[in-house]
Amino acid sequence: MAFDLSKKLVIGVSTRALFDLSYENSIFETEGVEAYRDYQRAHEKEPLKPGPGFALIRSFLSLNELSERKDVVEVIIMSRNSSDTALRVFHSIDHYGLKIARAVLAGGAPIAPYLSAFHTDLFLSAHEDDVQAAIDSGIAAGVIRTDGRVDYDREEQGHKIRIAFDGDAVLFTDESERIYQEKGLTAFEQNEVQKADLPLQEGPFAKFLQAIAQIQDAFEGKEAPIRTALVTARCAPAHERAIKTLRSWGVRVDEAFFLGGVSKKEILKAFGADIFFDDQSIYTEAAAEVVFAARVPYKSTA
C-alpha cells in the first residue's frame, strides 16, 4: 500500500530555508554549478548550520510526538539541488536528529510540478520563481528572508508554534487591497463597511489556516501546541468584514491585531511569532529583524 500523504499537514521546505547555505550559494552564483558541487562534496560530512526555517520545522515535527496520531505532520525537502550535491543536506538532517525521510531533488528543474503530487500544504523557499509558481498553482507558499537577525537554532521547552498572518492578499484575496492601492483609504473603508456582511474570498493561505485549525481541534480537551494570529493594517471600521469572513469559513485565529498604521514589527516580537506571512516586502523586511518572515507573492494573473 502506498504511503498516504493526503491526511497529513505536508510542508515542503527548500535546503536554503532549512539550513544556512549563504556561503555555498555564493559559490554557486559566482563560480557556477561545478564549483558548488565540488565544495559540497569536499565538505560532505560537515553539518550545515541551522537556517532561517530550522526552528520552525523542528517545532512542526515535534507535533508528531504530541499528537495521538503520531503522524500529523510530514516535512519534505524540495530542492533544485541534485542528489549528489544534496548528500550533505541529508547528513545534516541526521546530525540534528530531524525526522525527515522524503525529498524532491530536481537537479535544477522547477519544483512547482511536484508540489501537488505530494499534497503540499505549505512551501517555503528562497527561490522566487518556485514560490511564484506554487502560488499560481493555488498552494500556500512564501519567499523566506535569509537576512534575518533571529536565532535560527532557538529551542524553548514547551514552546508553542506561533504563526502570524497578514490579512489581505494572504488569508484573503487582494480584492480590497486593490481598492486601497488604486483609490485610497477612504474608498477602501467605504467598501469594507458596505460589504461587511459579504465574506472575502479565500486568499493563498486560507486553506493552510484551515488545516492548522484542524490540528488545533485534534487536541480537544488539551491546550493546543499551535497559536495563530491575524496581524493586519486594517482597523475599525474595516475590521468587521475580516472577522465575519473567518467566521464564515468556520475557523478562528487565537489573537487578532488591527493596527491601522502601528508597526507590525513590535507586535510580532511581542507575540513571539515563529513565522510571519505578509505580501509586502516593507513588512517582511522589518519583521525579519525580530522573527522569521516570508513574503507571499501575488498571483501572476492577478
pLDDT (tens, 9 = 90+) of the chain, 302 residues, equals 678 888 899 999 999 999 999 999 999 999 999 999 999 999 999 999 999 999 999 999 999 988 777 789 999 999 999 999 999 999 999 999 999 999 999 999 999 999 999 999 999 999 999 999 999 999 999 999 988 766 666 665 557 899 999 999 999 999 998 998 899 988 999 999 999 999 999 999 999 999 999 999 888 767 889 999 999 999 999 999 999 999 999 998 999 999 998 999 999 999 999 999 999 999 999 999 999 999 999 998 64
Predicted confidence at residue 146, as pLDDT, reads 85
Amino acid at 241: R
Q: Cell numbers of 117, please?
A: 503530487
Start-to-end C-alpha separation, the chain: 41
Domain 161-295 has CATH 3.30.930.10: no
Q: Which residue has the cell 505536508?
A: 10
Predicted confidence at residue 150, as pLDDT, reads 67
Predicted confidence at residue 1, as pLDDT, reads 62
Q: What is the reported pTM?
A: 0.93
Helices (H), 84-161: 87-96, 112-115, 128-136
Q: Is 121 a catalytic residue?
A: no
Among 130, 166, 168, 174, the active-site one is: 166
> What burial letters (b/e) apply to 271-296, b meaning 16+ CB within 10 Å?
bebbbbbbbbeebbbbbbebbbbbbb
Domain at 9-144, CATH class: alpha beta
Q: Do domains 9-144 and 161-295 have the same CATH topology?
A: yes
- The domain segmentation of the chain, as residue ranges, is 9-144, 161-295
